Amino acid sequence: MWRFVIRRCGQALVTLLLLSAIVFFMFRLLPADPTAAMVDAALSPEQIAELKAEFGLDKPLAVQYGLYLKNILLKGDFGTSFFYKQPALKILGDKILNTLILSLAAILVAYTVGSILGALMAWYRGSAGEVAGIVVGLVFRAAPEFWVGMVFVMLFAYGLGWLPHSGMREAGYVAESLAAKYLSLDFLRHLILPATVAALHMLSTPMLLLRNAMLEVRREEYVELAHAKGLPLRRIIFRHAARNAMLPVVTSLATAIGRSVGGMVLVEYVFSWPGLGREIVLAATRYDFPVAQAAFLMIAGLIMVMNILADLLYGYLDPRIVYK
Amino acid sequence: MVKRLFVWTLLTAVLLSGCAGQGRVTQDQPVSQPEDTPPVAAEPPDPARRIPTLTFLTTTPEYDAPRYEAALYIKRAMAELGVDLDVRPTDQKVVTDTSRTAPWEWDIAAFSWGNNADRVDPGFYIWDQFHSSNIKDQGNNRVGYSNPEYDRIADAQKRAMDQEERRALVFQAQESLARDVAMFPLWYNDLDQVYNKKRLEGVVSQGGVGLFNWITMTGVRIKTGENILRVAHRQDLDHLNPLSTVQATDRQILRFIYDSLLRWDENNQLIPGAAESWNIIDDTTVEFRLRPGQKFHDGHPLTAEDVAFTWEWGKQVGFGTEDPYVQGVERVEVVDELTLRFHLIQPDSSIASSGFTAVPILPKHIWESQEDPRSLTNEQPIGSGPFKLAYWRRGEEIRLDAVKDHYLQPKVDAIIQIVYANPDALLGAMELGQADMINPGISPEQKAALEKNPDMEIVRTVGIGYGYVAVNMRRQPWSDLAFRQAMAYAINFEELAEVVKQGTARAGAPGMVISPTNKYYYNENALIYNYDPAKARQILRDAGYEWDQDGRLYYPKQ
Amino acid sequence: MLRQIWQHLRRDPLGLTGVGLLTFFVLVAIFAPVIAPYDPEAILRLDGEIARLHPPSREFWFGTTNMGRDIFSGVVLGSRIALKVGILAALLVTFVGTNVGLIAGYYGGIVDTLLMRLVDLLYGIPFIPFVIVLVSLLKPSVTNIILAVSALTWRSVARIVRSQVLTLSQRPFVKAARVAGASDLRIIYRHILPNVLPIAMLEMSFVVSWAIVSEASVSFIGFGDPTVPSWGKLLNGAFVAGAVRFAPWWVAFPGLAIVLLVLAVFFITRSLETVINPRLKGGE
């Protein structure tokens, strides 16, 4: 199993490396001034000279890329934000956790609720509830996340006043430890709406997949056999069949993670959730290239980590997989 | 098929009804009249002379919707003239930085002067913005306006100590700026602001400035609940370095952390600040006596040495917007621990109101050893003002704790300014009681919502600042006077202000850099332009500009 | 085959609804300038006063924005952008993806490995952040958005076409063609492509809805083309003006337009799926 993990991590690193190259060249080949990516024209000549030396901006692009990578891998230096005048990593550091928590919460809700609904729909085949479930699921998949976000804010935050309309915490909070910051009721209240909006968007996939899989499973021979032996149908399905039916659901998790974290940009924007997604929008608006580059790489990195975890989950569910 | 029939019926119904119900509705953007169409050149002009697409920097709509909409409006007006502008919304700080910093990589941009007491004196606009000596990296003369005749007038008004004489000179300066179309003011900011009157009392509006002034911040009392004033703002601070302050957001907060020699009262009269008295010895000499017992936030006593240091060292290092004033001081003579004398290079009519009130007092023991003082973010600012920094959580909030033994005696325990990302959230914060005031002001939609709320008090202040569009005169086509004049006639500034500011502001006019609020100094004879697109085209034609058959504008033959 | 698709759609109520809705939107888009009563950018006055934030009324069916712009006209004209982006992106994506899938699946070996590694790489790129960054580096225009969306989306078409091609390459008719001396290109484009087309078309309809939502999303965040009326831009206007609370019509109508159009495509796609993936038929 460990060989599998190492191999997957290796793959992820290679992909990240290639991605960093793509991003690097994108930022340098597209704007008019190639040095604009790292050097803020507003700096003093001495500072510009210093930065140029550090990133080798007078050397060929390939060498620059090497220096860029070296700075990231050895020093954790993603460049200095043009806007904040601070290291990009410092700006983005705690945002990673915020996005991770929101994504995990959304995926958790989507997949657990979605799976349960899918199973129920398979069970109550042909009922009005099943049709309603399909339609509702599809509607939320069709509706853009940001729009659902706006509507929910309208209804639940302003209309009913049950939940906060934006942000991650109330202003003026006092929090000593990381745990106190994230495990507070205030934080959870702020988490509910954005996580729900994101979850609703993803819900239909696991729901329909599980439903289809369960319906197919019902027809399988071993189910009939067990039923003939006298075991209650419900127990058969939920104990034996569900586990296998989960496999396609977990497979879909990989794509879902990618779309969720990437799409989290929209939810973060609507709810002013201080995460990587919102930061990349702000950075792009401000032409703050170092931060935009860094945020992009971090988002990609986050997706990869979560994909590896999803693969592990898949492996746990289906031990038949041979880890080469 | 039923479906097909249904679709056709629906379509016909829609088509028919699309034509009805339009009688009362009129459209604003005028359609070009036939005689207005730009004349096509006899033969197609040389493509090399075509005026390329120019970049228009403005703010994002969520930060300041009027500035964004104004850019779009001007884009449309200029398109009629045959000039294509690419509107680029970005962070307001980017607009400011790009326009002030060499190599001035900008064409045209939208800005706004906030309501600030040091702008009541016209010197800020007349001399600081347009005198050619301020054309430098990080200089205030961002448009690059250089006119020796104008410099002469601007210098003269700065030296004129007689008010009548100065007024005449300021009038001349405005006429010159209007003739040269140095800038395009769009609207004069009347400010609508709101505060929670159930929680606050002692909120005072300062003429031209609004609610966010020293008097309010130190005098406000909280009636119920926690003794902390909470302010909601649209944007976070950039940095806390008083040497390089450009953003109004930063300056406001820094004014509470740092003290200055003089202050304003709510009627814009000069009153003692850190200096308890002053004495004008002659045209170029002023003596100040400091209040005894003042301390910096780290406990160090404040003496005349610190003030002298600030101005003399600051002159070498360079200040931000306040730079013209430190540059005007020849030396500062320390008479004794609490007394000092300023020796000015020339008489300066604006230094009292824009210099002595604006330049902060820096602690010598902290700044004298700094190697690159202007690029510090200064995240632990030590000043002598009525508030000191408790913490600054970037992008979220900043908290200032009151210095209880300060001579201004602030009544609140602390001020927290919280960043909200969009107008909805700002409003929500007020209604839910999470904020007591909104900085700097509210939009008409927010006003309409808050008016119905009995806890809210809405205050309207006639502002001294204005929103404006400026062009980079170092570049073509902006360097050509004829082009600028054509622009002045091609845009309907009255309509722009009405549409974009929804009736809450008076329209600006090209070159009118002093707000009409400033009744004494505002020269209405400098209003020489009106909306006349045909005249605009005539001016261009006379200057040799040409159009092709698509209506695009071309530079004149050299 | 088209006949078969149409026969199937006719019988499936959801599919039929989808076709009906889509036709409606297409007609609206085609006749948009005639249907829209006003210029969506024009600031309108009612009895002389600028018509700000009017709720839906006889003059303004969907109400107006805070700047006095008609939302109905905006939604009607926005359908053009939505369909333009959806269709163009889908065509571009299908073209590129199908070709890559064909070549990779047919030639196999190192060509396949390289191309599939490229696809894997593209899968690692987060979609919206990429589009945002690309559009911010270039100019925000509809063309750039179509390009940015297409640049990544072809990855799914390529994968699906490739796996289909792999299966087909082993079939007898391909082997027969090779024996008969047909060139590779001929085999790919005359023999394999027609069999791959259905599944490529299916994927294309997914892409249409994906492209529409992506354009709306990018415009919503403010990276859209400020000169064209799109649904995303309308919603952006509502959000930044803080109108979510005062003007629900401004939020509701453009959003519903997106939902309905995307649903229409979804229904059609689901219907097509049962024709093209017969295996799924059993699950219904």
CB A302 within 8 A of CB A96: yes
Residue A34 pLDDT: 52
Q: Could you give the angle at the alpha carbon of A249 between the alpha carbons of A248 and A254, nearest 5°?
A: 95
Q: Is the pLDDT of residue C283 over 50?
A: no
Which of B90, B377, B422 comes nearest A285 by C-beta? B90
Contacts of C48 in chain B (CB under 8 A): 26
- Which one of B90, B418, B422 has the shortest CB-CB distance to A286? B90
Q: How many Å separate Cα B110 from the centre of its chain?
A: 10
Least reliable range by pLDDT among A308-317, C73-82, C156-165: A308-317
Q: Are A146 and A267 in contact (CB under 8 A)?
A: yes
Distances (CA, A) of C236 to A147, B88, B525, C151, C240: 10, 16, 42, 24, 6
The answer for residues whose C-beta is within 8 angstroms of residue B520's C-beta and 6 or more apart is B167
Interatomic CA distance for residues C162 and C168, integer angstroms: 10
Whole-number Å distance between alpha carbons of B434 and B437: 9
Contact between A253 and C104 under an 8 Å Cβ cutoff? The reply is no
Beta carbons of C44 and B60 less than 8 Å apart = no
Cα separation, B286 vs B298, in Å, equals 29
The overall average pLDDT reported for chain A is 79
Model confidence, pTM: 0.83
C88 min Cα distance to partner chain A (Å): 20
Q: How far is CA A249 from CA A254, B229, B299, B430, C228, in A?
A: 9, 51, 64, 45, 40
Give the N- to C-terminal CA distance of chain B in Å, as an integer.
Answer: 68
- B434 in reach of chain A (CB within 8 A): yes
- A116 closest CA partner among A227, A223, A199, A230: A199
User: In this structure, are residues C139 and C82 in contact, taking their beta carbons and an 8 Å threshold?
Assistant: no
User: What is the average pLDDT value for chain C, to the nearest integer?
Assistant: 85
The C-alpha atoms of residue C255 and residue C40 are separated, in whole angstroms, by 17
Q: Do B421 and A272 touch (CB under 8 A)?
A: yes
Name residues whose C-beta falls within 8 Å of residue C173's C-beta, 6 or more positions apart in sequence.
Answer: C191
ipTM confidence? 0.87
pLDDT at C220: 93
Q: CA–CA separation, C207 vs B110, rounded Å?
A: 39
**How far is residue A191's CA from residue C41's CA, in Å, rounded to a whole number?**
37
User: CA–CA separation, B116 vs B112, rounded Å?
Assistant: 12
Using CB atoms, list chains with 3+ pairs below 8 Å to chain B.
A, C
Distance between start and end Cα atoms, chain A:
9
Question: How long is chain B?
Answer: 558
Taking an 8 Å Cβ-Cβ cutoff, which residues of chain B contact chain C? Answer: 3, 6-7, 10-11, 14-15, 18-19, 21-22, 24-29, 60-62, 65, 69, 72, 76, 86-87, 89, 422-424, 426-427, 443-446, 448-449, 498-500, 502
Please tell me if residue C143 touches chain B, with a CB cutoff of 8 Å. no
Half-sphere exposure of A232 (CA within 13 A, CB side): 4
- Chains near C (3 or more Cβ pairs under 8 Å): A, B
CB-CB neighbors (< 8 A) of A84 in chain B: 394
> C243 to chain B nearest CA, in Å?
7
Residues A286, A288, A289, A290, Cα dihedral to 10°: -160
CA dist C13 and C11 (Å) reads: 6
Percent of chain C with pLDDT over 70: 96
- C173: pLDDT strictly greater than 60: yes
Q: Quick one: pLDDT at residue A322?
A: 45
Supply the pLDDT for residue A241: 64
Largest CA distance in chain B: 100
Considering chain A, what percentage of its residues have pLDDT values greater than 90? 12
Confidence of residue C282 (pLDDT cuts 50, 70, 90): very low
Candidates C12, C23, C45, C268: best to mutate against B (most CBs of B within 10 A) is: C45
**Exposed e or buried b per residue across B300-322, where buried means at least 16 C-beta atoms within 10 angstroms of its C-beta:** eebbbebbbbbbebbbebbbbbb
| Cβ-Cβ contacts under 8 Å, B449 against chain C | 245-246
A171 vs B422: CB contact, 8 Å cut-off?
no
> Which residues are registered as beta bridge partners of B89?
B58
Tally Cβ neighbours within 10 Å of residue B155.
15
Answer for the pair B131, B154: CB distance below 8 angstroms, yes or no. Answer: yes
Residue C267 vs residues B551, C21, C209, C270: alpha-carbon distances, Å: 47, 10, 11, 5
From A251's Cα to the closest Cα of chain B, the distance in A is 37
Token pair recorded at residue B502: 């929804």
A131: tokens are 């049709």
Longest dimension (CA), chain A: 84
Using CA atoms of B81, B83, B88, B89 in order, give the dihedral in degrees to the nearest 10: -10
| Predicted local distance difference test score (pLDDT) of residue B490 | 94
Residue in B419, B92, B64, B61 with CA at minimum distance from that of residue C223: B61
Residues 142-201 of A with CB under 8 A from B: 153, 157-158, 165-167, 170-172
pLDDT value of position B448:
82
Using CA atoms, how far apart are residues A312 and A314, in angstroms rounded to an integer? 5
pLDDT, tens only, A283-298: 888 888 889 889 999 9
Q: Which residues in chain B show pLDDT less than 50?
A: 20-21, 30-35
Cα–Cα distance between B177 and B139 in angstroms, integer? 19
Q: Do C238 and A150 touch (CB under 8 A)?
A: yes
- Give whichever of B37-41, C101-105, C166-170 has the largest mean pLDDT: C101-105
* Confidence (pLDDT) at A13: 84
Nearest to C137 among A27, A153, A269 (CB): A27
Contacts of A83 in chain B (CB under 8 A): 91, 93-94
pLDDT band, very low/low/confident/very high, at C185 (cuts 50, 70, 90): confident
B397 contacts A157? CB cut-off 8 A: no
Q: Which residue has the tokens 């020849």?
A: B330
A234 has a pLDDT exceeding 70: no
End-to-end Cα separation, chain C, in angstroms: 22
For residues B132 and B159, the answer to whether their CB atoms sit within 8 Å is: no
Test A41 with B60 for CB contact under 8 angstroms: no
